[in-house]
Structure 1
Amino acid sequence: MRSLSGLVALAATFSSTLAAYQGFNYGSTFTSGAAKTQSDFEAEFKAAAGLVGAPAGGFTSARLYTMVQGGTASEPISAIPAAINTKTSLLLGMWASAGDAVFANELQALKATISKYGSNLGGLVAGISVGSEDLYRISPTGILNGENPGASPETIARYMKQVRDAISGTPLSGAPIGHVDTWTAWVNGSNQAVIDSCDWIGVDAYPYFQSTQSNAIENSKSLFEAAIGATKGAVNGKPVWVTETGFPVSGKTVGQAVPGLKNAQAYWNDVGCPMFGSVNVWWYTFQDAAPATPNPSFGVIGSQLTTTPLFDLSCKKVVIEPSSSSSLVVSSPSSQAGASSSGTTSSPAGNPTDVSGGSPGAGGGAGGGVPSSQLSLETSTVSSTASVPSGTGSGSGGSGSGSGITNTGSGTASSTPTNPTPVNQNGAGANSGSMGAAFAAMMAILVL
C-alpha cells in the first residue's frame, strides 16, 4: 500500500493534470427579452459558483455568445465587469452570422473591452469563440429551414484573423481562438479552412434531440461519445471543448427521450460527471426559466435564482469507467480534448435561446430579431470527408440527430430548431441563457 504522503503527492499531480474550465452558458437577455445588467450577471455567476453539491472546483466559468451589450451598438457586454468582480472565467463569444457590419461591431466591443478592462482580464479568458453554428446555418438543413444566413468557412477564417490582429500585443494576446459548431459541420471537408484557423474546436451535442435514433436516456452516453469520436476524428488533433450539452428537466418528449428530473439526473451522471474536472465543459444550462419557463427547459435551477439545484449535482454515486477511443481525454485548460458533436439549427430571426427552450446561441439579423417559439423538424444531407459512426448533435437554438457520415458518402442529419432570442438593435443579440469525480475515483482505487 502506498504511504499517505505518496498519495498526497500523487493527488496533487493528478489534480493539476485535471484542471479544466467548468461552467454554464449565459445569454445576454432574459426570456422576456430584457437585457441583463452587470448586477444580473454577478448574481448569476455567484449563484452558479455556490451551487449546493456541485463537483469539486464548482462552476466558475461562463460561456457568452456576444461581446455587445443588449440595446447598444457596440458597447462591451456587462458580463465582463461582472466576471472580473466575481472571478469568473469567460469563454468570450462573437456573433458572426449577421454580416460584416455586425461583426465589425463585435470586434469594436472586443477592442473596447480590452481597452477598458486591460490586464484585469488577463487570467480570466479561457478563449474566444468566433461564431456559433454559422457553418451549420449555411448547410442544406439550415438553408431549407430559413435560418439566419450563417457564414462561409472563408468568412469565419477571415473573422478569426481579424480577432487575432485585434488582440495582438494586448493582455488577451495569448487567448486561444476557436469556433463552435455542430459535428456535421466539423466532419464536412468543405469547412477545413475553419479547422485550420482554430486553436480549439467547440461542439454542441444533445442526444435528447436525436429522434431518428434510439435516444432513450440509457443510450445518451453512447450517442454522446459517438459524436465525440466523429468530431475528434475530423479535426486533425485540435483540442475539442464541450461548449453545450444537457438534458431537459421538463418539456416535450422527442423520439424516446423523455424530459424530467430523473432523466436529467441520469444524463448529468452519465455524461457530465466523467468530464467535469478533466475537459473544458460549459453545460447547458444554469437557468433558462427566468422569468418564463421554456419548453423544453434545460436549467439545473428553476425560475428563481438560487444555489439549490433541481437534482443532485455531486457525482458522488457515479463510477467513472475507463475512456474508450471515442471518449474524453484528460488534458490541461489550454489544450482540452474530448467533446461532443451534433447537427443543429438556430433561429430564423435572431439568436436561439431559452425564450422558448432549447440550446442557446447568440445571433442576430441585421435589423434585430423577434422572439419566436415555433418548433419545426428539418432534414438535410451533408457531405463528409471523415468516417464516423451514427451520431447526432445539438447546438444554439436547436439540436439534431444524424445517421452518421462516411468518407465516401453522405449522412442525413435531422435537426429540431427551438427558438430565436430577441436581439439588440444592431443584430448582435444573445440568448438568456479541479479535481473532479475522475480524481475521486482514482483515489478510491489507490486507497484500496
Structure 2
Amino acid sequence: MRLTSTFVAAAATISTASAGYKGFNYGANFLNNQAKVQADFEYEFNAAKTLPNTNGQFTSARLYTMIQHGTTNTVISAIPAAINTNTQLLLGLWASAGQANVNNEVAALKAAISQYGTKFTNLVVGISVGSEDLYRITPTGIANKAGAGAQPSELVNYIKQVRAAIKGTGLASKPVGHVDTWTAYDNSTNAVVVQNCDFIGVDAYPYFQTTMANSIGTANKTFYDAYQTTINRAQGKPVWVTETGWPVTGPQSNQAVASAANARIYWEDVSCSLIKKGVNLFYYTLQDNQWGTASPSFGIKPAGDLQQVQPAFNLAC
C-alpha cells in the first residue's frame, strides 16, 4: 500500500485550476553529442504540447545554456524554436566551467535580446544562473566534463553579471535565480546565493536519495520533505521545481525500482499534486533516449519519433 504524506493530501484539496508554468528540461544535444537544431527543438516543444491526457498544459521549456552546442557563443537554436511554437522559456546559463564560459553565456544572452527582441523577451519567465553548481563542489557531487561546479561567491558574481547584462533590456524585469539540489540549499554556507536570487529552482529525485527511505511507496513524502526543506531555506523567495521525475528503466537505487508503473505512481503523487498547487514545474524529462540509451532513463516517451511513440505511462491527473 502506498503511503501518502499529509502534505500531499492537503494539496489534493486545492482547486484543480493550475496557474504555474509546466514544462520539461531540454538539453542542447542528443546522447551521441550531436547538436540539436531549430527543427529538433520545435519538434520537441510541439510534442510536449500534444501529450495525451495533459490538456495541452506543457507549454514551457527549461534550458541549461544559451549557447548552441559546438559553438563558442552562438545563440542556441531553441530560441527561434520557442518563438515559432510560442513556448515559454526558463533560460539557463551554464556556470560550472568558469568565468570565460560565463562570458560566452552572457554574450549569447545579449545577442538573443538584440537579434530577436520582444518576440524572445516576452516568452522568458525567468533566468537561471547555473545548474547544480553548488552540488558539484560537495564531496558527493558529480563533476562532469563541463567543469567541477562553482563556489557560492562565484555564483553571486555571475548573478550580478547577468543582472548588469539585462539592465535596460526587455529582460530587465524577469526574475533571476539559481537551480541546485535541495541538499545544496540545506547547507547554510550557500545562503548568500539564495540571498541574491529572485527565485530558487530545486532539483529533487527520491530515486537518487539512497541514504533514506526512497521506495515508490514513500517517494512522495521523500520529495515533499526535500521541497519543504528548500522552502525553509529560501528566505521567502519563490521555490520552483526545476527537476524531478522517476525513471522508467534503470538499475535499482536502494529501495527505488525503475519502472513505467512506478513512474506513473510518482507522476500522480508528485507531479499532479504540484500542478494542482500551481507550483512551477519542469519535469525531467520528455525523452532522453535520443540517439543513445540513457541509464537510468526518465523519459516519458521512449526512443523513436516523438510525435509517433506513445508515453510510457498515463499522464492524466
TM-score by length of 1: 0.65
SS of residue paired to 1:291: coil
State the match for 1:207 in structure 2. Answer: 206
Counterpart amino acid of residue 309 in structure 1: P
Structure 2 CA distance for aligned equivalents of residues 143 and 68 of structure 1: 22
Separation in structure 2 between the aligned mates of residue 71 and residue 146 of structure 1, nearest angstrom: 14
How far, CA to CA, are the matches of 1:190 and 1:271 in structure 2? Answer: 29
- 1:282 aligns to 2:282 (yes or no): yes
After superposition, residues 3-402 of structure 1 pair within 5 angstroms as 18-54=18-54, 56-142=55-141, 148-276=147-275, 278-307=278-307, 308-315=310-317
Corresponding residue SS for 1:170: coil
2:136 touches 2:143 (CA, 8 Å); kept in 1?
Answer: no
Q: Separation in 1 of the partners of 2:51 and 2:105?
A: 32
Letter aligned with residue 232 of structure 1: I
Determine the C-alpha separation between the residues in 2 that align with 1:18 and 1:268: 16
Q: Secondary structure at the match of 1:218?
A: coil
Could you tell me how far apart the structure 1 residues matched to 2:96 and 2:260 are? 34
Q: CA deviation at 1:209?
A: 1.2
SS of residue in 1 equivalent to 2:126: strand
CA distance in 2, matches of 1:74, 1:15: 44
Cα shift readout 1:227-266 (whole Å, capped 9, x = no counterpart): 0111111111110000000000111111111111110000
CA–CA distance in structure 2, aligned partners of residues 144 and 31 of structure 1: 18
Task: Give the deviation of 1:140 after TM superposition.
Answer: 2.8
Any stretches of 5+ residues in structure 1 without a counterpart? 1-13, 316-448
Q: CA deviation at 1:80?
A: 0.2
Larger radius of gyration: 1
- Aligned partner of residue 140 in structure 2, secondary structure: helix
Is contact 2:91-2:124 (8 Å) kept?
Answer: yes
Instruction: Please report the RMSD computed on the Cα atoms of aligned residues, expressed in angstroms.
Output: 1.9
In structure 2, C-alpha distance between the alignment counterparts of 1:186 and 1:286, rounded to whole Å = 26
Identity among equivalent positions (%) equals 54
Partner SS state of residue 104, structure 1: helix
Offset at residue 92 of structure 1 (A) = 0.4
Structure 1 147/116 Cα, relative in aligned 2: closer, same or farther at 3 Å? closer
Deviation digits for residues 155-179 of structure 1, max 9, x if unmatched?
1111111111111111111110000
Q: Report how far residue 306 of structure 1 moved.
A: 2.7
Tell me how far 1:143 sits from its aligned partner.
8.0
Given the superposition, is the C-alpha separation of residues 279 and 57 from structure 1 closer, same or farther in structure 2, using an over 3 Å criterion?
farther
Contact kept? 1:44, 1:305, Cα under 8 Å: no
Contact 2:97 2:146 survives alignment (8 Å): no
Shift of 1:17: 7.6
Output one character per residue of 1:387-432: Cα deviation in whole Å (capped at 9) or x when no partner: xxxxxxxxxxxxxxxxxxxxxxxxxxxxxxxxxxxxxxxxxxxxxx
Matches of 1:165 and 1:250, distance apart in 2: 43
Q: Quick one: which amino acid aligns to residue 120 of structure 2?
A: L
1:408 aligned partner: none
User: Structure 1 CA distance, aligned partners of 2:147 and 2:235?
Assistant: 29
CA shift in 2, pair 1:147/1:184, >3 Å: farther
Conservation of the 8 A alpha-carbon contact between 1:156 and 1:194: yes
CA contact (8 A) 1:66 1:77 kept: yes
**Distance (Å, rounded) in 1 between the aligned partners of 2:142 and 2:284:** 25
CA 1:240 to 1:72, structure 2 compared with 1: closer, same or farther past 3 Å? same
Other structure's SS at 1:267 match: helix
**SS where residue 142 of structure 1 aligns?**
coil
Cα displacement (A) at 1:287: 0.4
Q: Is the 8 A contact 1:249 1:297 kept in 2?
A: yes
Q: Note the residue ranges of structure 2 that are not aligned, 5 or more in a row.
A: 1-13
For 2:204 and 2:288, the matched residues in 1 are separated by: 17
- SS at the partner of 1:178? strand
8 Å CA contact 1:75, 1:109 repeated in 2: yes
Contact (CA 8 Å) 1:47, 1:305: kept in 2 or not?
Answer: no
Deviations along 1:254-285, one digit per CA (max 9) or x if unpaired, are: 11111111100000000000111511000000
- Give the conservation status (yes or no) of the 8 Å contact 1:121–1:172: no
Question: Aligned AA for 2:177?
Answer: G
2:50–2:56 contact (8 Å) kept in structure 1:
no
Separation (CA, whole Å) in 2 of partners of 1:72 and 1:145: 19
Q: Distance in 2 between matches of 1:18 and 1:36?
A: 31
Provide the C-alpha distance between the structure 2 equivalents of 1:46 and 1:147, rounded to a whole number of angstroms: 29
Query: Which secondary structure does the structure 2 equivalent of 1:117 belong to?
Result: helix
Task: Decide whether aligned partners of structure 1 residues 239 and 45 sit closer, same or farther in structure 2, where only a CA change above 3 A counts.
Answer: same
Q: Taking structure 1 as reference, are residues 296 and 193 closer, same or farther at Cα in structure 2, changes over 3 Å only?
A: same
The structural deviation recorded for 1:18 is 3.5
Q: Residue 252 of structure 1 contacts residue 259 of structure 1 at CA under 8 Å; is this kept in 2? A: yes
